[in-house]
Amino acid sequence: MKSLLSLVSAIVAMSAAQSQARPYVPNLGPDLPTITLQSGEVTVMMRQATQWTPGRIDFRGTPMTTESSAYGTVFMYPEIGFIGTGHFENEPEELQSLTFYQDGNEIEATSSELSGKTLSVVRESKIRDFRFTNRIELRDNRLFETVTVKAEKETPLKLVYHFMHAWTPTVSEYLAGIDGDQPTGEPLPNGVEKKFHINKVVDWSAVFEPTSKQFAVSRLLECPDGVKTTSKIWNVPGTYKKYYLQSFYNETVPAGFEGTWKMVTTFGTSEPEKWKIRAEAFAEKLR
């Protein structure tokens, strides 16, 4: 009997391990592990395992972000924790629809690489009593990200994160600004404890990667009236310097709420001593 029980336990444990080892496969979308969108000098790799949300962002063939993270939109519930992109530890986000567009035309995504003047991915999904639409669009060397959230019921939350960008751990500093004011920034050092930076409402933010001499600038183009929306960069040495757009921090989302957030990100190159001036100029052009 003990031998039989041991065998059954071993089989159960093996099945569980195999199940955990298999990447998540959503109910919708092409049977491909990744699809890379390329427009101009910017590429975005989308992952099947994270329900067709971004998995890496490159500029001129150089990764500006790491794949070791979650992107997209995540809700944090007081009673359960995170639900959303890449967070399957509690329950998966329910993908409702997925549509690819190439130069304005809806297409079947049958290739692992798509290129065009304009590329878009529109996905509709559901997390508990929230329905939302995420749109990724690449054009003019710019990445546009839009999310519209609709609440069917009143829901207390710890926070919501949008437009997460897991910048590579080699990113060395940031700059952030409010239009009309002097921008501020500071180094993002390695070899120190985890720390959040920015932690306030800003119109735009930028980061610099010294090895490639490339920088990224993100500007918030739209957010719902009356919803406090703050920017954060979480410095996790050796892992990433991750940007988050945060809202509904320890707040209750009212029933019937509908709101849209939109962000644009673009990229450039500069010598280290000039990158802040160039980034600020880029931020002005994104208005």
Which CATH number belongs to the domain containing residue 50 in this structure? 2.70.98.10
If we measure between CA atoms, which residue out of 154, 136, 147 comes closest to residue 74?
Answer: 147
Would you call 31 exposed, middle or buried from its count of C-beta atoms within 10 A (0-12, 13-18, 19+)?
Answer: exposed
pLDDT top residue among 78 and 88: 78
Q: What is the pLDDT of residue 27?
A: 79
Whether residue 274 has pLDDT greater than 50? yes
Look at the chain and report how many structural domains it folds into: 1
Average pLDDT of the residues in 55-72: 93
Beta pairing partners, 260: 148
pLDDT digits (tens, 9 = 90+) for 132-153: 999 999 999 999 999 999 999 9
**pLDDT class of 191 with cuts at 50, 70, 90:** confident
Whether residue 88 has pLDDT greater than 80? no
Q: What is the pLDDT of residue 7?
A: 34
Whether 209 is covered by a domain: the verdict is yes
Whether 62 is covered by a domain: the verdict is yes
* Terminal-residue alpha carbon distance, the chain: 72
Whether 2 is covered by a domain: the verdict is no
Domain assignment of residue 90, given as a range: 26-285
Q: What is the pLDDT of residue 69?
A: 86
Q: What is the pLDDT of residue 77?
A: 95
CB 90 within 8 A of CB 112: no
Beta pairing partners, 177: 204
Q: What is the pLDDT of residue 270?
A: 98
Q: The pTM is what?
A: 0.90
Dihedral of CA atoms 103, 105, 107, 113 in degrees, nearest 10, equals: 0
Whether 18 is covered by a domain: the verdict is no
Residue 39 to residues 92, 93, 149, 235, Cα–Cα distance (Å): 30, 28, 27, 29
